[in-house]
Amino acid sequence: MTSEKIKRYIEENLPKCIRERKEDNLAEELYGLPYPYTVPSVNSFDELYYWDTYFLNKIYQFTEPKAQMRNNVDNMLYMVERFGHMGNSNRTYHIKISQPPLLSEMVKDVYNSFADKQWLKKAYETLKKEYTFWVTERMTEIGLNQYGCSLKEEDVPVLAEGFSERLGYRPDMTEYDMARQYLICCEAGLDLCYRWGMEGHSYVQVDLNSILYGIEKNMEYFSDELGTGESELWRDRAKKRKKLMNEFLLSEDKLFYDYSLKTKELGMFNDACVYPLFFGLANQEQAKAALENLGRIETDHGITVCEKHDVKGVFQWAYPNAWPCIQYFTVFGLERYGYTDAAVRIGKKYINMLETVFEETGELWEKYNAVEGNNKPVSNSQTTMLGWTAGTYLSISRYLEEKEKL
C-alpha cells in the first residue's frame, strides 16, 4: 500500500535530517544549539526552522525517538533565552525576524508526551519572554499584533534585490519598502504572498493574533498545571484579544480578515480564516461562516492559499498552491467545532493527492498544485520535503483512520 511506502520513506529519511552544531560557526552563519536538531529536508537545509518544526515534531509523536521532539523544543527555548525570541531559524541573518510563534504549542505537545512538570516550569518562564517580544516589538496602536522585522540599512540593497528576483519583476517602490515587505512575508512564513499588496507593515493579521490567543490559552493551562497563580492573568489577556479581534478583524459576514491600519479596511479572503477555528477563538456562528466559505478556496485536491487571482508577480503562497500546514489547520480546526464530515472530506482530498504523487515521484514535496493535483505548483522553487509534509501526512492519515473506525 502507498501509505505503508510513505511511512517507510519517512522512517528511513528522518534520521538523515538530524544535525548537531553546538558551537557558533559565524563563517557558516549558524548559531550553535545545545542539542541535536531536525532540519526540514535531507539535502536542502542545515538550520532549525521555527514553524516547520511544529509539524516535524508531529512525526515524533508517531515514531521514535520521541526524545528528539523534546530536543527540538529545548533548542528553541535556548534561542529565546539567548535572543528574546526564536528566529526564523538558527541562521545568524534570520534572527532579525521570527516566524509564526508556535513554540507554546510545541511545549504543550512535549509536556503531554512526557508529563515532566519540572521541565514545564522552566519552559513556562521562557515562554513569557517570547510572549513579551511579540506584544512589545510587534504591537500596534489598536492593541493587536502584526508581523514585522528588525531591518538594518546595510541589509536593504541585498534584501531588495532578493525580493524583486523572487517576485519576477521590480515593483515601483523604494529599496527599503521592498526589503521590509520581504522580511514581513518571511516572518509570516509566507515568502512570498500578496495578501497585503505591498504593504504588509500596515496590516494586523488574523493568523498571528489567533496564534497569540492560543499562546495565552496555553499559558493559562500551564499555569493551572504548575499552580503559579497566573491563570486569571492569561485568561484575561485572551479575552481582551478575542474582544479586539471581534472589533477590528471581524466582518459582517462573520469571517475574520486581516485589518489595514492605514485604510481602516479589511483585507482579502484567504486560508487564514481557519486559524480562529484551530485555536478555539471563533464562536459557533463564526466557525459556521468559515465552513460555508471554504468552497472559495477548496479544490479537488485540498485547500489552496487563496482565491484565483490576476496579480502581477510570482507568489508561492498563492493560488493554486496547497501547503501542508494549511491542510493541517483546516482539518483539525473543522474537527474542533464538530464539522467532521468537512474535515474528513478535505483530509481525504489532500492525502489522496500526496499518495498519488508519491507513487509517481517517490518523494514528498513541500507544496502541491491543489487544482491539478501534482507537485508542479506556481512558484519559483520546489523541493523534496520530509518535514511538515510528512508531519501533516501522518497526522491527517491517523485522524482519518480513527474516523473510519467509528
Instruction: Report the pLDDT value the prediction gives residue 171, as an integer from 0 to 100.
Output: 96
Q: What are phi and psi of 260, to 5 degrees?
A: -85, 120
* Per-residue confidence band for 109, with pLDDT thresholds at 50, 70 and 90: very high
In tens, the pLDDT along 315-324 reads 999 999 999 9
In tens, the pLDDT along 18-32 reads 999 999 999 999 999
0.75 surpassed by pTM: yes
Half-sphere exposure of 170 (CA within 13 A, CB side): 7
Instruction: Report the pLDDT value the prediction gives residue 83, as an integer from 0 to 100.
Output: 98
Instruction: Report the pLDDT value the prediction gives residue 392, as an integer from 0 to 100.
Output: 98
Mean pLDDT of the chain: 96
In tens, the pLDDT along 51-99 reads 999 999 999 988 878 999 999 999 999 999 999 999 999 999 999 999 9
Q: Give percent above pLDDT 70 in the chain.
A: 100
Instruction: Report the pLDDT value the prediction gives residue 281, as an integer from 0 to 100.
Output: 98
Question: Do residues 287 and 210 touch, judged by C-beta distance below 8 A?
Answer: no
**d(C-alpha 48, C-alpha 184), whole Å:** 19
Instruction: Using the structure block, give the residue that is written with the C-alpha cell 519576477.
Output: 168
Q: Which three cell numbers mark 302?
A: 485540498
Q: Which three cell numbers mark 162?
A: 532578493
Question: Do residues 240 and 143 touch, judged by C-beta distance below 8 A?
Answer: yes
Calculate Rg over the CA atoms of the chain: 20
* Per-residue confidence band for 380, with pLDDT thresholds at 50, 70 and 90: low
- Across residues 267-279, what is the average pLDDT? 97
Q: Which of 335, 402, 391, 399 is nearest to 106 (CA)?
A: 391
3-state secondary structure the chain: CHHHHHHHHHHHHHHHHEECCCCCECCCCECCCCCCEECCCCCCCCCCCHHHHHHHHHHHCCCCCCHHHHHHHHHHHHHHHHHCCCCCCCEHHHCCCCCCCCHHHHHHHHHHHHCCHHHHHHHHHHHHHHHHHHHHHCECCCCCECCCCCCCHHHHHHHHHHHHHHHCCCCCCCHHHHHHHHHHHHHCCCCCCCCCCCCHHHEECHHHHHHHHHHHHHHHHHHHHHCCCCHHHHHHHHHHHHHHHHHHCECCCCCECCEECCCCCECCCEHHHHHHHHCCCCCHHHHHHHHHHHHHCEECCEECCECCCCCCCCCCCCCCEECHHHHHHHHHHHHHCCCHHHHHHHHHHHHHHHHHHHHHHCCCECCEECCCCECCCCCCCCCECCHHHHHHHHHHHHHHHHHHHC
For residue 26, count CB atoms less than 10 angstroms from its CB and return exposed for 0-12, middle for 13-18, buried for 19 or more: exposed
Do the strands 321-322 and 302-303 form a parallel or antiparallel pair, or are they unpaired?
unpaired
Instruction: Report the pLDDT value the prediction gives residue 98, as an integer from 0 to 100.
Output: 98
Question: Do residues 222 and 235 touch, judged by C-beta distance below 8 A?
Answer: no
Q: Which three cell numbers mark 215?
A: 499562546
Instruction: Report the pLDDT value the prediction gives residue 230, as an integer from 0 to 100.
Output: 98
Q: Which of 78, 29, 73, 32 is nearest to 53 (CA)?
A: 73
Instruction: Respond yes or no on whether the N-terminal peptide bond of residue 320 is cis (omega within 30° of 0).
Output: yes
Instruction: Report the pLDDT value the prediction gives residue 382, as an integer from 0 to 100.
Output: 84
In tens, the pLDDT along 123-156 reads 999 999 999 999 999 999 999 999 999 999 999 9
In tens, the pLDDT along 215-270 reads 999 999 999 999 999 999 999 999 999 999 999 999 999 999 999 999 999 999 99
Question: Do residues 190 and 214 touch, judged by C-beta distance below 8 A?
Answer: no
Q: Give percent above pLDDT 90 in the chain.
A: 94
